Structure formats: structure tokens, C-alpha cells
């Protein structure tokens, strides 16, 4: 059985579409754990309606504890051998669970699919081909290939064996929780498979983490990155973790327009320097990461010009890859 975990918080506008896409799954052997995380709109009533309609749906009500703990609560309450996370404002392809299950062989612990911020992409028809298969080390290296790897660190769009999710719970009370868990749980897998089917629609809302104005809560990214460095402190991949944390921190630095007079400017600069120093310990990382070399060589010019151009390049490449994928389909 697959346990589908859905954390719910004030999403009445999108919730029915989400739950409908789960209820209509062609793979029938599922349970759906809805964790209402203290919603103050009509989300609870919508959840109750689906629980009355379908005995596979189960509702847990709790005071607001955040997305991470809502997921943890859902996992602890679930009974399935496999776990699949869905955010309550997103939509999944009607047959995605049926598509993923055959790839969950005896030596595979995670099967992932592609995702899109365009809902119409869910209707694209394709034969599910494997675009990545690898063991723990290969998966970690691939996931750290910032913006280019097939293995992404999102909690959703993946089917997990239960023990993998239980090994690394989500960090309670922090945002960017996927960044830590999505990489750290790869330490515990035997193999992961990623297929090229777009099975998950990720809704980008105006109040999502990356589109909101900066708040002190955004400093959670440093706790997440520091936790990753600690998790891999005795591992050969540590410099690659340093590279990953360096890139993700400076992306947020520019996304939130952290200028020299910003109250947290020095905190960002301190952590960026720390992650860069960790990354530069490996000659291979230095050779493979041009933007890191630019930062180490031209730190003053970097924050004004170089990194902006670099991420425009990454964005352009990712858009091209997305268009090529659709063309192949």
C-alpha cells in the first residue's frame, strides 16, 4: 500500500483539485493522510468531505506546527510500505502512482518523476524512460549538480520506501526543509530511479517562500545548510556539499536583494564565505565550479555583477532543457 501524505494549511482555493487528483488515481491500493495544520479557512471542512466520501482518506487535526512537522505527523500515522508526499495546492497526474510502482524493484528505494509549474504538462503522453539510475553516492553527486541534476531535493514527486523517510525526518519548525531532507536521505538508499514522465504539477503562488518579501524566517536556510555540512562532515562528498550550500545561499542572497545596507547582509556574507571555503578543499570542485572560482578571485565584483550573469545562464539552460523534453514527448 502507498500512503499519500498531504499537509494542509489554508488552501481552500486549491485543495479540492489536489484531493480530486489523488482520489482518481488509477493505482487503488492507497491511503491518504490529511494533516490539517491549524487551518483557519474552509480547508478542514473540505478534508472532512473527502473523508466521508472515501474510506481511504483520513484526517488529523492539529495546532499549527509548520509544514515539516505536518509531514512527520502524517508519516507516523501512516501504514503504507511506500510513502508519497503531495503539497495541498498541487496536482498529480491521474496515473502517476501506477507508473512509478513498477520501477520500485527489490534494490530500489526511491522512484522519482519530473515536475512542472505548467498544469497542462500533466496531459503529455510519454513512455516512462529512466533518465537516471544510481546508488547512494551517485545520487548524492547528481543531486548536488546545482540546477542540472536529474535527482532533485524536493520531498514531492517521489515514491519512497517507508524506511528511507523514517531515517531522516523533516527538521521541525524550519522552512527550506526539503533542501536538507532531500539530500540527507540519499545516504540511506541502495538505488534511486528517476523517470522522464511529468507526473507532478507544482503550483507557484504569490505567497510561496521564494516569492514573498524577505523575513527573518528566511535565515533558516543557514540552519539547513549547516545541518547538511554536519550530516556529511566525515564523508568524501563534504566539499560537494560545500559547493551546493554555497550556490543555494548566494541564489537566495540575490533573490531577496540583500544589499550592503540590509540588516542581515553580514550574516549572508559570513555564511557564503564559510561554504565557499568548504567547497574549495576539493580541486575537483574548484575545477568544475566556475562561479566558485570567480567568487574566490573577485569577491567584491562578484556580488554586483558576476553571479547575476551566472544565474541568468542557468535559468536559460534549464528553460531550454524543459522545451527539449516537451519536444521529445
What pLDDT score does 223 carry?
Answer: 96
Confidence category of residue 327, pLDDT binned at 50, 70, 90: very low
Q: What are 126-130's contacts with CB under 8 Å, separation 24+?
A: 126/196, 126/197, 126/198, 126/328, 126/329, 128/99, 128/103, 128/195, 128/196, 128/197, 129/195, 129/196, 130/103, 130/193, 130/194, 130/195, 130/196
What is the C-alpha separation between 122 and 76, in angstroms, rounded? 30
What average pLDDT does the segment 218-222 reach? 95
What average pLDDT does the segment 142-158 reach? 87
Confidence category of residue 328, pLDDT binned at 50, 70, 90: very low
233: which 3 cell numbers? 562532515
Which residue has better confidence, 44 or 303?
Answer: 44
Based on its alpha-carbon atoms, the radius of gyration of the chain, rounded to whole angstroms, reads 20
Confidence category of residue 119, pLDDT binned at 50, 70, 90: very high
**248-284 residue pLDDT tens:** 998 888 888 887 788 998 999 999 999 999 999 999 9
What pLDDT score does 303 carry?
Answer: 62
- Domain covering 2-201, topology: Spore Coat Polysaccharide Biosynthesis Protein SpsA; Chain A (3.90.550)
What average pLDDT does the segment 12-36 reach? 98
What pLDDT score does 305 carry?
Answer: 56
Where in the chain are the domains?
2-201, 216-328
pLDDT value at 318 more than 80? no
What pLDDT score does 310 carry?
Answer: 56
Q: Which of 3-17, 92-106, 108-122, 244-258 has the lowest mean pLDDT?
A: 244-258
pLDDT value at 13 more than 80? yes
Which residue has better confidence, 254 or 140?
Answer: 140
Amino acid at each position: 500500500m502507498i500512503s499519500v501524505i498531504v499537509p494542509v494549511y489554508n488552501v481552500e482555493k486549491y485543495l479540492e483539485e489536489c484531493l480530486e487528483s489523488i482520489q482518481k488515481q488509477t493505482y487503488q491500493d492507497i491511503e491518504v493522510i490529511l494533516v490539517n495544520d491549524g487551518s483557519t479557512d474552509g480547508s478542514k471542512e473540505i478534508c472532512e468531505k473527502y473523508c466521508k466520501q472515501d474510506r481511504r482518506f483520513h484526517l488529523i487535526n492539529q495546532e499549527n506546527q509548520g509544514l515539516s512537522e505536518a509531514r512527520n505527523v502524517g508519516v507516523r500515522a501512516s501504514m503504507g510500505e511506500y510513502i508519497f508526499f503531495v503539497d495541498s495546492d498541487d496536482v498529480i497526474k491521474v496515473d502517476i502512482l501506477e507508473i512509478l510502482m513498477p520501477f520500485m524493484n527489490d534494490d530500489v528505494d526511491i522512484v522519482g518523476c519530473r515536475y512542472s509549474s505548467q498544469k497542462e504538462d500533466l496531459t503529455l503522453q510519454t513512455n516512462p524512460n529512466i533518465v537516471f539510475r544510481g546508488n547512494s553516492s551517485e545520487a548524492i553527486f547528481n543531486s548536488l549538480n546545482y540546477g542540472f541534476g536529474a535527482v532533485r531535493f524536493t520531498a514531492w514527486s517521489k515514491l519512497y520506501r517507508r524506511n528511507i523517510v523514517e531515517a531522516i525526518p523533516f527538521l521541525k519548525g524550519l522552512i527550506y526543509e526539503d533542501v536538507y531532507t532531500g539530500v540527507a536521505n540519499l545516504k540511506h538508499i541502495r538505488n534511486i530511479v528517476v523517470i522522464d514522465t511529468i507526473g507532478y504539477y507544482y503550483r507557484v503562488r504569490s505567497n510561496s517562500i521564494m516569492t514573498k518579501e524577505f523575513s527573518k524566517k528566511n535565515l533558516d536556510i543557514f540552519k539547513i545548510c549547516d545541518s547538511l555540512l554536519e550530516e556529511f562532515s566525515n564523508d568524501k562528498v563534504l566539499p560537494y556539499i560545500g559547493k551546493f550550500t554555497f550556490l543555494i545561499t548566494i541564489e537566495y542572497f540575490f533573490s531577496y536583494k540583500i544589499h550592503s545596507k540590509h540588516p542581515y547582509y553580514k550574516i549572508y556574507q559570513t555564511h557564503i564565505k564559510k561554504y565557499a571555503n568548504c567547497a574549495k578543499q576539493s580541486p575537483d570542485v574548484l575545477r568544475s565550479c566556475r562561479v566558485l572560482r570567480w567568487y574566490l578571485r573577485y569577491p567584491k565584483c562578484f556580488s554586483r555583477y558576476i553571479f547575476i550573469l551566472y544565474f541568468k545562464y542557468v535559468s536559460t539552460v534549464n528553460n531550454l532543457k524543459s522545451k527539449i523534453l516537451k519536444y521529445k514527448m
